[in-house]
Amino acid sequence: MTLEDAFDEPAFIPYLAAGDPDFESSLEYVEALADGGADVIELGLPFSEPIAEGPTIQQAIVRSLESGMTPERFFEFVDALDVDVPLVCMTYYNLIYQFGPEDADPVRPFVERAAEAGIEGFVVPDLPAEEADLLRGYCDEYGLDLIFIVAPTTAGDRLGRMMEQVSGYVYVQARLGVTGARSDLSDQTDETLARLEDYDVPKAVGFGISTGEHAEAVVAAGADGVIVGSALVDIVAEGHENGEATETTAERLESLARELKSGALAGAERRPRPADCGAAWARNRPSRASDGAEIHCVAAYENINEAASKEGAMADRLPTGISVLDRVIGGGIPAGSIVLLDASPASQSELFLYELTATRGTLYLTTIRSEQAVQDALGRATASVGNPTVRDIGGDAPLDGANRLVHDLPESSNLIVDVVDELEREDRTRYRTFLNNLQTHMANTGGLAVLHAMKGHEVANRVVSKHMADVVFDLRTSVEGTEVENKLAVPKFRGGAALQETIKLQLAEDVSIDTSRDIA
């Protein structure tokens, strides 16, 4: 059975981390999902920097690594499985690139070994389509599919390039952020599916689906399948923590799988299906997307396409998480931007950074505070915050650490550098190269980078940061007697308009407009 066959009807695609919590139990859990109606199974090959994942799957990856999972052990796991559904490997590009002998061509050994083991395709969250030619070529050589994750903000040339490279199915990200089960679904799903309607490749929606009702709603909205990870991983985690018998946990997994598959099938009964739309589930659907592919069921989805066109102007705006600021700057910051936040050390400007983490998956690079100090500060925050991946790059070579981690930043993610002063102290040529590479990567992946700079100890390369930044937030803090006043100026805003007036802000439990006096 191939990935193409899996979408003869709405597909249920579960995810588990291979080897979580141990090799033998994990085999039973994956087989239980197949028994419960899985049409495709995504198997996570754990990587130590899973920056696209929420805390649930991060912990699964930790358990898998602690149980001894490695790339070769992963292929042994696949060999040992007794299932009759296509298997997709979800991992990060570093593992694919580094696998095999040192003198071998990069990427080829991994793809070849995966094909031997029976893997049908790959999901690589940190690989932009613009850099995927090597992997795409080897996938074609060995007959494997390459699946890309399309975020709610993916549009224009980035979407076109991605759809030229994709095969098997498209992983449609239901909302911005990291993986994780949710109690409700995002309105962004309909908009994303509408943007993909012209491409004749199956669309499977993931991120936040946890119930049969969710699966039904997503398929009814036009999805060809549903992807479920965190809700299933939660069951594995609970069984492990409670000392539950493997058989009991497997039964719970199979039960939820049946519920999700039933929901997907029920959703198909609810979706508009004019008489001439029977081809939507046809076996002869092309395995690669094409700009010239025939558009199915246009009449049935005219209303969705119309809504998408109205939203097009805002599709590439990324919210900051601070509603008062987003309203002033037209809904958010253009995707692919670098923002310089220039602030006083005593201004509590870090609240901007904390609230930004709630908007989407975030890699938080700290150069002065320890990882634990940042995590503790996020834990104490009363504003809405996310679950960023925090990494300490301070030390002798912070720029090297930043370069290494930024390269793996996935589609539509945030990058925070707190504070950028330590990088600005590097050689100017090296720092300019870093910013140029960062600008290219953010443009290719549609993410948002925020460089947090400190006033009061200007460094030689601050002028470079200001010149290279697409947006400059200048936070001005003054203290008069017992009063502290914070005013935000936006003197530079590429892709929008610089503000003609400053905004008076209150930085306390969160970032808000200070209404105690008129804006000055």
- Find all residues with CB under 8 Å of 20, minimum gap 6, and list them: 26, 60, 61, 63, 64, 67, 233, 236
Helical (H) or strand (E) element with 15: strand 11-17
Q: Is 53 a catalytic residue?
A: yes
Active-site residue, from 4, 31, 53, 350: 53
Q: Is 42 a catalytic residue?
A: yes
- Find all residues with CB under 8 Å of 331, minimum gap 6, and list them: 314, 317, 319
* 171: its two tokens: 């992983």
Cα(394)–Cα(22) distance, integer angstroms: 35
| 517 burial via Cβ count (<10 Å: 0-12, 13-18, 19+) | exposed
Cα(202)–Cα(219) distance, integer angstroms: 12
Query: What is the DSSP secondary structure assignment for residue 132, as one 8-state letter?
Result: -
| 157 burial via Cβ count (<10 Å: 0-12, 13-18, 19+) | exposed
Cα(301)–Cα(489) distance, integer angstroms: 44
Cα(487)–Cα(499) distance, integer angstroms: 12
Residue 68, Cβ neighbours under 10 Å: how many? 10
41-44 β-sheet, strand order: 145-147, 119-123, 87-90, 41-44, 11-17, 225-228, 203-206, 170-173, 149-150
CB 441 within 8 A of CB 406: yes
* 231: its two tokens: 């809700």
| 112 burial via Cβ count (<10 Å: 0-12, 13-18, 19+) | middle
Active-site residue, from 31, 42, 216, 355: 42
Residues listed for the chain: 520
Helix (H), strand (E) counts: the chain: 20, 20
Closest residue by Cα to residue 435 from 409, 399, 401, 411: 399
Helical (H) or strand (E) element with 352: helix 350-356
Residues known to be catalytic? 42, 53
